[in-house]
Amino acid sequence: EIVMTQSPATLSVSPGERATLSCRASQSVSSNLAWYQQRPGQAPRLLIYGASTRATGIPARFSGSGSGTEFTLTISSLQSEDFAVYYCQQYNKWPRGGTFGPGTKVDIK
């Protein structure tokens, strides 16, 4: 089973600053990596798929990079609505699985 890890667990950032979130897979997942945002009380929202492709309607300040086992989500200039929890997910073995990372909480510094 592929294990996903994320760092840091919590990231404190001031509005307008850049946030860089990391995700690591225990074995290569190629570019089969997605990022989601989840605000309190809401369902997750797809941000990035294929490691670097923004989903429909996602602002350009969100960008993804990486391949293999190391991935990064960058939020270039944090807006108030971006303070949330972010999860990465590998889907390299789809349809036989799609494990999530434990999440990174981005909160206001």
Which residues form the interface with another protein (CB under 8 A)?
Answer: 1, 32, 34, 36, 38, 43-46, 49, 55, 85, 87, 89, 91-92, 94-103
Neighbouring C-alpha atoms within 13 Å toward the C-beta of 26:
8
Kindly report the backbone phi and psi dihedral angles of residue 80, in degrees, each rounded to the nearest multiple of 5, phi listed first. -60, -35
Would you say 14 or 96 has its CB closer to another protein? Answer: 96
> Is 84:39 a contact under the CB 8 Å cutoff?
yes
Nearer to another protein, 21 or 89 (CB): 89
Identify which of residues 45 and 61 has a Cβ nearer to another protein in the complex.
45
Nearest distance, CB of residue 71 and another protein, angstroms: 13
The encoded tokens of residue 47 equal 């941000």
